[in-house]
Structure 1
């Protein structure tokens, strides 16, 4: 019996050894011979960023894009910044900014952070007159110290949802907001009566606080516009967060647009647009454009005729209108054909009715890339579903995703369109300015890092893994996935997250498209490059599952040929 057991164990060990050899052969021996590329990150400029808040889209994504552009992004120390519901220390942030402006080539500053301590804090409190004046005086003093250095500033309109501190029914307050806007346009008598009835169901004090939030914000924004007109602010962007078709935020937006027009201010100085989280990244692109004198020629293509007219969730307008705003933000010239364009912005809006054309879109993008076109891909789903987005079809059809200039498919349409366009503009603007092999390859490496972070977060996490995380929490008795318990489930969930996301990274690492080589022109000639060993470090930056902090590690290789 012992002899039989020994033979059995020996056979089992032999099978394991052969299996490991096959895996090694498939993953290493079969790979073409290549030399690892060692790169040094160099910077041409240094830019201070006061982010909207400390979430990755508002801070990390700008830092990463800065690396691609050769712009070192400097942010305030974490101990004085916001963290989830804890607001940033506005006085210390202002002092830090004033103390460090001399060490930079300019600044991108969130007014919401300087004034309230972050986006969430701005939603919970109105702007007092004396606080606004202190902030405006600070901006004047900052300009005096900055001298000719550019100051890019942005502020976000209050969203339609009332502050959580109010006692009245939130849904009724939102309905009142919509009706006030609709009545101002249509003057419908039934709406007027319904508005009067709804007002009886809520506290007048709460309604006054809600309406005053917008009045004060409008007054502040007009003062900021005046600073921009005087050149104290180099460029001001006013964004709209979580918009709808109707509501008081839309009324404020229209009022500010009219005010800007009355002063004769151009979009280069004041831009009012949909979106919030991506604005700092767009302003970084503007900074790079001023240093390179780059104006993109962009051809916009949609996956079907309905995409441009689609109104996506949390948007106060169509996809087409959002694209047009982001093109203006990028100072882009829109052209009528791919042949005229230096950049193709491909906007895919998936829904449950157009999944049959996913392959057609994937093959169209593949053809553009084979022709050497630069493609920025926006990959969105009407219902935030993995089945409706294009990315899985890109993998299936062997589209060379390593050659995509940029990719985005997270959260709202404005977030994704703004992100994809800004990253593409930065890449296109800065690439011709580098003249060493190291810097040229560093641009490509950083582009790939940014894109793979977007692949892993925008598709794998936000369309697949987040549901796994939320279901796991609920199966263990935790109903509130937006307020993780730091003592009981936060660490546990981070471990599950890391494990699950690395599995997805391994899937991508072993895919045909990941291994596809791509060519890069350098002063030493054309390099055939490939990437290997995709690793991901990921955790929840705030105690909720809504977003992740994700770092990708890639190894860049030059093929021996």
Structure 2
């Protein structure tokens, strides 16, 4: 196949955004041109706009497509988008870079995404303004009340009584929060109206059925309808969208769009609304597939990719929690047998392991290992949110379908087992419960990015693989770990083939 060059501007500097796309493309005709660490920011420290612009302008001439995070372009990253003090005029000037890229390369296609800003339901300033530590929960509840008032679910008197109570906690900080939301929403609407992109999506970061995020989504939907604009995909997601749009760009470039057949652990699992999302997963999957350049098919015999979806039939829980009744209703025996059958037919198998939030399902992986060699599975993901998992697994599968399974693609799948099932599902909790306090550390203070915590994590991951997933441990080992934001939530890891 001919070479395809993707100019890629990630959502932020964490591995899931800045590195996964590059790793998936390794060993294929797709060259992903990514900015170096010196260009990107550092959590609450935004990327330098001048450096970001120069990176894009200097590299666009040789690109076939651009995959661009508008949040990185305008605000310097996902967290800075929640903290900035910029005006609409300043941000509008930055937005002109997209038109500038088209002037330099009139043939380049721009695939872009801009998040609807999240509103967490808890009080923490780790990724939010400082005041969110004190009154984040009350800000979230205020958004829910205002939304329910609009929907007629609360009377004016009920709403005002609740809001007055929350205001005693939030004070004027809620005004700052709402002002920034309004600015970000205005820029999103301007982007829709100006339409400088060939393909554009609006993911919702950590969404809920009621609240500020959903109100903003409805505002976008109304703006599109009122102005006769093309419909724009809006769905739960954030850290996987760079992979999803890269998949879209590559399938468009080669003119090949796979048909995907979905296998569920139980058909009723489609009705489950995952944690931190606002709709059933059965409604999100077709949108994720379409945005990635795929199409769902009901004809298994005609499909190019078999997507296996591991979800409970009732409430999804965190990987650190005990499973509830809905987990017992999954037919994992049939699920594993169907994976084996698809692999024996040399089909591209992708496993979206959404059984739990924030961690892979070790029970499923151990059952699968009784049927197949886990290292032969072309695509796997099971990390953070359901949509993060879906976008990763789908992108992996698309690349394997287009270019075949390679040693590099197998290495990435091994890294997913280590990180998603190993770190997110077990080692992170083990370190927090048994190690950090002995060292005078905690969840948010992990001894820097490459200290003794990172070294111990690497040891624990290799021990986990040897104990729980020996098929993986027999072929791969974790060679290096670091903690990108110097906390325990995410890890950066490298693996080597033994």
Which deviates further from its counterpart, 404-413 or 349-358?
A: 349-358
Counterpart check, 1:374 vs 2:348: yes
Counterpart check, 1:310 vs 2:272: yes
Superposition pairs for residues 414-433 of structure 1, below 5 Å? Answer: 414-428=387-401, 430-431=402-403
- Of 60, 63, 69 in structure 2, the residue corresponding to residue 104 of structure 1 is 63
Alpha carbons of structure 1 residues 496 and 326: separation in structure 2 relative to 1, 3 Å: same
**Who is 1:85 aligned against?**
44
**Who is 1:283 aligned against?**
245
Question: Cα deviations across residues 297-355 of structure 1 (Å, max 9, x unaligned)?
Answer: 11112111331111121112211122122022124332223223221211101443234
**Who is 1:217 aligned against?**
184
8 Å Cα contact 2:455/2:481 also seen in 1: no
Counterpart check, 1:501 vs 2:444: no
8 Å Cα contact 2:381/2:389 also seen in 1: yes
The whole-number CA distance in structure 2 between the counterparts of 1:509 and 1:317 is 33
8 Å Cα contact 2:336/2:368 also seen in 1: yes
Counterpart check, 1:150 vs 2:109: yes
- Of 125, 143, 161 in structure 2, the residue corresponding to residue 177 of structure 1 is 143
**Who is 2:317 aligned against?**
none
Question: Cα deviations across residues 224-281 of structure 1 (Å, max 9, x unaligned)?
Answer: 11232xxx212122111111121111011122123234445446xx432210101111
**Who is 1:137 aligned against?**
96
The whole-number CA distance in structure 1 between the counterparts of 2:457 and 2:182 is 43
Alpha carbons of structure 1 residues 107 and 82: separation in structure 2 relative to 1, 3 Å: same
8 Å Cα contact 1:43/1:72 also seen in 2: no
Counterpart check, 1:411 vs 2:411: no
Superposition pairs for residues 260-409 of structure 1, below 5 Å? Answer: 260-266=224-230, 270-350=232-312, 351-353=323-325, 354-355=327-328, 357-382=331-356, 384=358, 390-395=364-369, 397-409=370-382
The whole-number CA distance in structure 2 between the counterparts of 1:188 and 1:76 is 48
8 Å Cα contact 2:135/2:169 also seen in 1: yes
Alpha carbons of structure 1 residues 43 and 550: separation in structure 2 relative to 1, 3 Å: farther
Alpha carbons of structure 1 residues 126 and 158: separation in structure 2 relative to 1, 3 Å: farther
Counterpart check, 1:251 vs 2:223: no
Alpha carbons of structure 1 residues 387 and 70: separation in structure 2 relative to 1, 3 Å: closer
**Who is 1:545 aligned against?**
488
Residue 81 of structure 1 aligns to a residue in which SS?
A: coil
8 Å Cα contact 2:353/2:361 also seen in 1: no
The whole-number CA distance in structure 2 between the counterparts of 1:281 and 1:468 is 30
The whole-number CA distance in structure 2 between the counterparts of 1:255 and 1:323 is 23
8 Å Cα contact 1:123/1:158 also seen in 2: yes
**Who is 1:164 aligned against?**
129
Question: Cα deviations across residues 407-447 of structure 1 (Å, max 9, x unaligned)?
Answer: 1100000100111112212222x22xxxxxxxx6xx42222
8 Å Cα contact 2:263/2:309 also seen in 1: yes
The whole-number CA distance in structure 1 between the counterparts of 2:361 and 2:421 is 10
- Give structure 1 stretches of 5+ with no counterpart: 1-41, 432-439, 516-531, 556-561
Question: Cα deviations across residues 49-100 of structure 1 (Å, max 9, x unaligned)?
Answer: 1111111110110101222542222222322311233221122211222122
Residue 294 of structure 1 aligns to a residue in which SS?
A: coil
The whole-number CA distance in structure 2 between the counterparts of 1:48 and 1:363 is 40
Alpha carbons of structure 1 residues 258 and 344: separation in structure 2 relative to 1, 3 Å: farther
**Who is 1:236 aligned against?**
200
Deviation at 1:534, TM superposition (A): 4.5
Counterpart check, 1:116 vs 2:63: no
8 Å Cα contact 2:359/2:421 also seen in 1: no
Residue 309 of structure 2 aligns to a residue in which SS?
A: strand
**Who is 1:67 aligned against?**
26
Residue 119 of structure 1 aligns to a residue in which SS?
A: coil
Alpha carbons of structure 1 residues 292 and 389: separation in structure 2 relative to 1, 3 Å: farther
**Who is 2:420 aligned against?**
458
Residue 115 of structure 2 aligns to a residue in which SS?
A: strand
The whole-number CA distance in structure 2 between the counterparts of 1:107 and 1:387 is 34
Which deviates further from its counterpart, 236-245 or 200-209?
A: 200-209
Deviation at 1:401, TM superposition (A): 2.8
Alpha carbons of structure 1 residues 347 and 255: separation in structure 2 relative to 1, 3 Å: same
8 Å Cα contact 1:509/1:533 also seen in 2: no
Alpha carbons of structure 1 residues 367 and 311: separation in structure 2 relative to 1, 3 Å: same
The whole-number CA distance in structure 1 between the counterparts of 2:167 and 2:24 is 51
Question: Cα deviations across residues 11-56 of structure 1 (Å, max 9, x unaligned)?
Answer: xxxxxxxxxxxxxxxxxxxxxxxxxxxxxxx982322211111111
Question: Cα deviations across residues 379-418 of structure 1 (Å, max 9, x unaligned)?
Answer: 12346576675212112x2323334231110000010011
Deviation at 1:371, TM superposition (A): 3.0
The whole-number CA distance in structure 1 between the counterparts of 2:360 and 2:95 is 45
8 Å Cα contact 1:502/1:535 also seen in 2: yes
Deviation at 1:509, TM superposition (A): 7.8
- Of 200, 203, 206 in structure 1, the residue corresponding to residue 173 of structure 2 is 206
Deviation at 1:140, TM superposition (A): 1.8
Residue 251 of structure 1 aligns to a residue in which SS?
A: helix
RMSD of equivalent CA atoms? 2.6
